Amino acid sequence: MFTFSLTIVRHGETQYNRDKLLQGQGVDTTLSEAGVRQAEAVGQYLRDLRFNVVYTSDLQRACQTAEQILRANVRSSGVEAVLEPLLRERGFGIAEGRPKEDLKNMANAAGQSCRDYTPPGGETLDQVRLRFKDFLRVLFQQMMEEHGDGTAAPPLPPAGGSEDGPEGVGVHALVVSHGAFIRIAVKHLLEELGCSLPAGARASQLSAPCPNTGVSRFLLTLRRAPGQGGAPGRGGGPELAAARCLFTNRKEHLETLEDS
């Protein structure tokens, strides 16, 4: 078994975010000036953590954010972001490019909550969750192939101590994605994968909407699945043995921007 940290970051602000317009997958906008500053700020916040692998949605707003994070990072020289379509924002179908209020009105007309409603041509929550599960399989396979047979990191450390950094863990992955996708991903980690929570926290608090460049971090322990006939062996694929949430939606790095 070995443990790695998974840091998930939402992209910086776009003009569509500021104007409360839905982007989804079909509207591929770039960061606003404020969004670039946010991406630079989160890059400074993460600058001392050496990422072994970086995955980003292939939409421009996420790619730009990942680029800024890697540019600021002093320990991840030579690491390049992998563009991963599985990390794209939830598709909102005919609602993309329209005000978020339009989506609320569609949901109300259908007698559903806005969070659960799927507009025509859009992705259901289950479809997005399955995309995240597919991504985890890709990530787990890479982590196991590249680090699982070494001694780069111990099993999950005991609870207690600092909740900020993954002390004692030597392998780190960064994911840059989108608000709706991250909310579904965090909910899956907390509710379906048995992820333990920080002391005093509730799952509903941790799966709240993520702000632009909000940071979430998890510790995930992998092991090789039993080989053929139930015997453990090198041929087994990776499976999750334990998971812990350190924090979600952290945004302290934005405080100086809000004061300026």
Higher pLDDT, 230 or 124: 124
d(CA 260, CA 255): 9
Amino acid identity, residue 162? Answer: S
Would you state the pLDDT for residue 165?
A: 62
Structural domain count of the chain: 1
Would you state the pLDDT for residue 230?
A: 44
pLDDT bracket for residue 147 (50, 70, 90): confident
Q: Which among 11, 147, 178, 188 is annotated as catalytic?
A: 11
Q: In the numeric block, which tokens belong to residue 190?
A: 């907390």
List, for residues 178-212, the tens digit of each pLDDT value: 999 999 999 999 999 989 998 888 888 898 999 99
Q: Which domain does 114 fall in, by range?
A: 2-259
Would you state the pLDDT for residue 149?
A: 62
For the question of residue 188 being annotated catalytic, the response is no
Would you state the pLDDT for residue 225?
A: 83
Q: What are the φ and ψ backbone dihedral angles of 232, each rounded to 5 degrees? A: -65, 145
Question: What is the pLDDT of the chain when averaged over all its residues?
Answer: 89
Would you state the pLDDT for residue 155?
A: 46
* CATH number (domain holding residue 213): 3.40.50.1240
d(CA 46, CA 35): 16
For the question of residue 11 being annotated catalytic, the response is yes
List, for residues 20-78, the tens digit of each pLDDT value: 999 999 999 999 999 999 999 999 999 999 999 999 999 999 999 999 999 999 888 88
pLDDT bracket for residue 234 (50, 70, 90): low
pLDDT bracket for residue 18 (50, 70, 90): very high
pLDDT above 80: residue 227:
no
Does residue 180 contact residue 89 with C-beta atoms inside 8 Å? yes
Does residue 54 contact residue 174 with C-beta atoms inside 8 Å? yes
Question: CB count, 10 Å around CB of 234?
Answer: 8
Would you state the pLDDT for residue 157?
A: 45
What are the CB-based long-range contacts (under 8 Å, 24+) for 33-36? 34/257, 35/11, 35/61, 35/64, 35/65, 35/212, 36/12, 36/64, 36/68
H or E stretch at 128: helix 125-147
For the chain, give the percent of residues with pLDDT over 90.
74
Q: What radius of gyration do the chain's Cα atoms show?
A: 19
Q: Which among 40, 67, 84, 89 is annotated as catalytic?
A: 89
Q: In the numeric block, which tokens belong to residue 209?
A: 């909407």
- Arithmetic mean of pLDDT, 137-155: 75
Higher pLDDT, 76 or 88: 88
Amino acid identity, residue 40? Answer: E
pLDDT bracket for residue 252 (50, 70, 90): very high
